[in-house]
Amino acid sequence: MKRLITSILMIGIMILSLSACGAAAPAPVSASPEPVASVEGEPSDVSKNFSFTPVDDDSKASAIASTEKEIEGKIEDGTKVEYGDLDGDGTVEYSIDYLVEDGDIITGKTEVYFNNELIHTVNDELPIDSGMLVYADYDGDGANELLFVYYPHVNSMPLDEYVVLKEKNGLWYEMEVPEDANGSNRFPVHVKYGDEPCTLKITCDGFDKVIDYDARAHYEAAVKELTESGGNEEFKAEFERVLAGEGFVKGADYGMVMPWGIWQVEAVTVNDEPCIRALHGLAGAQLERYDVLGSLYIYFRFDAKGRVKIVDMEFYDDLSGGIPE
């Protein structure tokens, strides 16, 4: 379901983009020749906290039931989502989603239970649906943490938010994950001009890997489609300007992370270690959602000091339509 929702979101944005860019045959992504990053080695420091993750079918809710709970004198209907016995002690882990009404304002609240104990509460300005609860060692200390993914409803469509919970002295607390200045759960990603017009460099603060992307085919396809369809002349002129190198400044900012920050959060394994994978949409900054460049996946976990440690990055451009396995 989560993948379907994300696909719907991507398709919706691409429909808007296609009015400017048009459909094109699949093409491979041009990326950095550097090898795939390993989780081993010195940890990378991230200047700000940003995060996201893909859902494992095995970790999705195994049952949903209705429940009621009295909070501050009010009875709120809730939805209970069970995840199975994650730690093998005979108890089933679960969460309960509530709609909290305050006059005409409806907000969301979710409680997370581990071994039948309330260990975390999420309050959001929007209604919330629980997504998944994964029990794995994300910092390599031999003790498992909890990755909880939930979906606040944005424009009637849930997008991914998440927390990583760690237990210490019998208490659970949130590990620090990336956020931007607006509180959005995004990594500090940069899309800058490379050495020549149409060449772009994709980087993330705290990680050494550079992804080199030649966007010429992307813009040539966009101009071709608009010419054949008689589409938006303003968009066509902008794409032709980029192709001609107008405004090109080596190393200058060019692109941006699409709105909503991380679109999807997944639990994955890299080099036999549990990791979290975060999906960002990237676009040209001039036309934003009307110039979708592609999808950036960031793989991360935590170091021994609890700091975010980026493991790898992958980029799939709009022409390839690819997604990681």
Please give the Cα distance from 45 to 27 (Å, whole number): 34
Supply the pTM of this predicted model. Answer: 0.78
Q: Which residue has the tokens 């991230």?
A: 46
Please give the Cα distance from 295 to 73 (Å, whole number): 46
DSSP secondary structure string for all residues of 73-93: TEEEEEEEEEEE-SSSSS--E
pLDDT at 44: 34
pLDDT tens for each residue of the chain, 325 residues long: 444 444 444 445 444 444 444 433 333 344 443 333 333 333 333 333 323 333 333 433 443 444 555 544 344 578 999 999 999 999 999 999 998 888 888 889 999 999 999 999 999 988 899 999 999 999 999 999 999 999 988 776 667 999 999 999 999 999 999 888 777 889 999 999 999 999 999 999 999 999 999 999 999 999 999 999 999 999 999 999 999 999 999 999 999 998 888 999 999 999 999 999 999 999 999 999 899 999 999 999 999 999 999 999 999 999 887 778 7
pLDDT at 157: 62
* Contact present, 279 and 6 (Cβ < 8 Å): yes
Please give the Cα distance from 61 to 84 (Å, whole number): 8
Q: Where are the domains of the chain?
A: 20-47+186-320, 52-176
Give which of 143, 150, 144, 156 is closest to 79, Cα–Cα: 150
pLDDT at 46: 34
* Contact present, 294 and 320 (Cβ < 8 Å): yes
Q: Which residue has the tokens 């093409």?
A: 27
Give which of 292, 195, 190 is closest to 248, Cα–Cα: 195
pLDDT at 226: 95
